[in-house]
Amino acid sequence: MKVPFLDLRTQYQGIKADVEPEVLKILENCCYIGGSYVNDFERSMESYLNAAHVAGCSNGTDALVLGLRACNVKPGDEVITTPFTFFATAEAICSVGAIPVFVDVRQEDYNIDPDKIEAAITEKTKAILPVHIFGAPCDMDTINAIAKKHGLKVIEDDAQAIGSEYKGRKAGTLGDVGCFSFYPTKNLGGAGDGGMVTTNSDDMYTILKAFKEHGAAKVGAEALELLEGIKETIDNNEEATELYNPYKYYNYLIGYNSRLDAIQAAVLSAKLKHLDEYNANRARIAAKYTAGLTPRIRRPEYSSDIKPCWHQFVVRSEYKEELCAFLTANEVGNGSFYPVPLHQQKAFNKDNCKNPGASLPVAEEISSQSVCLPIFPEMTDEQIDYVIETVNRFYEGK
């Protein structure tokens, strides 16, 4: 039997009838940027997450950059984050000129260890950037309490965590801003790149809207006042309409071009209706893996405070390379996330990072052992059983 790591084709068949007419309408109407599809998606997402505001953007990396800027993170500021994540988390910190400070993770859930955060705080620290790795929310009460005590912002990296919950609240509503990716392989994936930032703060929403469109127009002037206390007046009193914004070419901040496209919004809206069902299927697969895999393989241990969205099912094996080769030879898709923890990535050095090459033993150990098994909503029981049987067969030979 062949078990792919992911099967986007089967998922597409389930939403094809909803997606294709909408995409064709967008192509016929030629309203590719902004407009009602993006607006409808953002509002639906606000109610799904129970968040006051959602701002779509171009991708998850931009979402982090926008989130950092909305928190007024500036060049030279330090931002505490995890080394066990995708590169973009720390890359975004560097993109705004700030300095990532890596703090080790926990053995049980691979998330940043809140007990180690305070020792890393200095007078330059501006924010904490926890990543809900593999869709399992971090210990947010402890992280938020530390942030409050030291006057820091909390920027959630929710790229892998859509639909996850912490104490009954959705990831993305747990810090000051939440940053999501709609990269096609995510639990809610677009037909290309996409992302969004969430916040419950009206002021941060104003700033996000300004930065994602070149710091222009009235919202740009409002954001400038919120960020720097500088009040600019706009002389032009014409009213903006959907097709004409008289202020578009008046810029108040150096921002970005980071918008969610209408076609992506249409695809994401169709999939959002199925997201809870997709995530429930992932949870069902995770439960079968947890029950069926040999106890010799180490699974993550999640607190009862959280409901993960199971973006990945990651086991730990001292025979990592051999196990991956065995799975591949037996046609079971597999992945190794993440083989190099960020503090050991060549891109980071003393000029752009606080502690490149530091000793962060838990992250290093997990990186050397982690093996991701296939977990996608359309997996059949036969496929799940075959994965379990293949892993267990590998261990019988050990």
Ligand X SMILES: Cc1ncc(COP(=O)(O)O)c(C=O)c1O
Residues that bind ligand X in the complex, under the rule CB under 6 A: 59-61, 85-86, 88-89, 131, 157, 159-160, 181, 183, 193, 195
Burial class (CB in 10 A: 0-12, 13-18, 19+), 75: exposed
**Between residues 217 and 372, which has the closer beta carbon with respect to ligand X?**
372
Question: Nearest residue to ligand X, using CB?
Answer: 60
Please enumerate in sequence order all residues whose Cβ is within 8 A of that of 108, keeping only pairs 6 or more positions apart, or say none: 300, 301, 302
**Between residues 64 and 224, which has the closer beta carbon with respect to ligand X?**
64
Least Cβ distance, residue 183 to ligand X (angstroms): 4
Q: Which residues pair with 3 in a beta bridge?
A: 332
**Between residues 181 and 199, which has the closer beta carbon with respect to ligand X?**
181
**Between residues 84 and 386, which has the closer beta carbon with respect to ligand X?**
84
Least Cβ distance, residue 173 to ligand X (angstroms): 18
Q: For residues 26 and 304, what is the distance between their CA atoms, to the nearest angstrom? A: 44
Least Cβ distance, residue 277 to ligand X (angstroms): 22
**Between residues 187 and 390, which has the closer beta carbon with respect to ligand X?**
187
Least Cβ distance, residue 358 to ligand X (angstroms): 20
Is residue 338 reached through a cis peptide bond, with omega within 30 degrees of 0 on the bond before it? yes
**Between residues 183 and 205, which has the closer beta carbon with respect to ligand X?**
183
Please enumerate in sequence order all residues whose Cβ is within 8 A of that of 23, keeping only pairs 6 or more positions apart, or say none: 263, 266, 267
Q: Tell which phi-psi region holds residue 168, choosing left (phi > 0), alpha (psi between -120 and 50) or beta.
A: left
CB 314 within 8 A of CB 372: yes
**Between residues 8 and 27, which has the closer beta carbon with respect to ligand X?**
8
Least Cβ distance, residue 59 to ligand X (angstroms): 4
Here the tokens at position 123 are: 């007078």
φ, ψ of residue 346 to 5 degrees: the values are -60, -30
Least Cβ distance, residue 121 to ligand X (angstroms): 23
Here the tokens at position 388 are: 């379990």
CB 236 within 8 A of CB 247: yes
Least Cβ distance, residue 388 to ligand X (angstroms): 26
